[in-house]
């Protein structure tokens, strides 16, 4: 239950709550901006709940505090993040090419929302709030608890699979699944959740800037 509950909380509350908020604010800021604003508000609310779960029942890789910068390791933390960002960017290029070959309505809708949104809300949601929320859930809680229950390899695989599935379309599933594995390895290497949060934020920023 300590594995299922954090995932179900994210799955059953984040998108449904955003939909409820969208019905309340319906096009108040324009179609795409209102949708993104509702996702932002929902994300902040769910983030508070997930952080409480992280605090009360931490997983193996839930540390937000210690970054090892001694004994020749000063470059390990930023260097590993850089490698993860490079790998994720190369994956993004491949997925972008694949999206021109495979028709995916879900991917097209997500792309249209990003293109039609106002910049301040877009950056706040996709570069700060959502990376933090997703890393807390999938690397901070699920990766550690699945690792403890099934072993490291299965922990990486299952948490990345769940991370891919919540994107609800084939193109984003492939990218999120593979990126999830990269971010999991990054957290395991550094034993610090900030590593994957920073890398995730940079990858989202690169995606926005490339639109």
Domain boundaries, the chain: 4-210
List the pLDDT tens digit at each of the 211 positions of the chain. Answer: 677 889 999 999 998 998 898 888 876 666 667 878 888 899 999 999 999 888 876 565 666 656 665 555 668 889 999 999 999 999 988 887 777 766 555 445 555 555 555 567 788 888 999 999 999 999 999 998 999 899 999 999 999 999 999 988 888 899 999 999 999 999 999 888 999 999 999 999 988 887 6
pLDDT for the residue numbered 53: 87
Tell me the DSSP string of the chain. -TTHHHHHHHHHHHHHHHHHHHHHHTTTT-HHHHHHHHHHHHHHHHHHHHHHHHHHS--TT---S-----TT-TTHHHHHHHHHHHHHHHHHHHHHHHHTTS--HHHHHHHHHHHTS-HHHHHIIIIIIHHHHHHIIIIIIIIHHHHHHH-HHHHHHHHHHHHHHTT-SHHHHHHHHHHHHHHHHHHHHHT-HHHHHHHHHHHHHHHHHH-
């Amino acid at each position: 239950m300590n594995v299922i509950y954090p995932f179900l909380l994210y799955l059953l509350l984040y998108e449904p709550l955003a939909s409820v908020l969208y019905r309340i604010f319906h096009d108040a800021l324009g179609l795409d901006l209102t949708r993104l604003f509702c996702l932002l508000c929902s994300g902040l609310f769910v983030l508070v709940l997930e952080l409480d779960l992280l605090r009360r029942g931490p997983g193996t890789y839930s540390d937000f505090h210690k970054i090892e910068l001694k004994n020749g390791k000063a470059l390990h933390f930023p260097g590993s993040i850089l490698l993860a960002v490079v790998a994720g960017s190369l994956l993004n290029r491949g997925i972008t090419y694949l999206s021109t070959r495979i028709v995916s309505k879900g991917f097209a809708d997500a792309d249209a929302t990003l293109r039609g949104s106002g910049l301040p809300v877009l950056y706040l949601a996709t570069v700060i709030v959502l990376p933090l929320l997703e890393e807390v859930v999938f690397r901070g809680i699920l990766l550690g608890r699945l690792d403890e229950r099934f072993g490291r390899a299965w922990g990486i695989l299952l948490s990345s699979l769940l991370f891919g599935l919540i994107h609800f379309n084939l193109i984003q599933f492939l990218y999120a699944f593979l990126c999830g594995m990269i971010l999991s390895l990054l957290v395991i290497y550094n034993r610090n959740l900030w590593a994957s949060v920073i890398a995730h934020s940079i990858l989202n920023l690169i995606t926005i800037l490339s639109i």
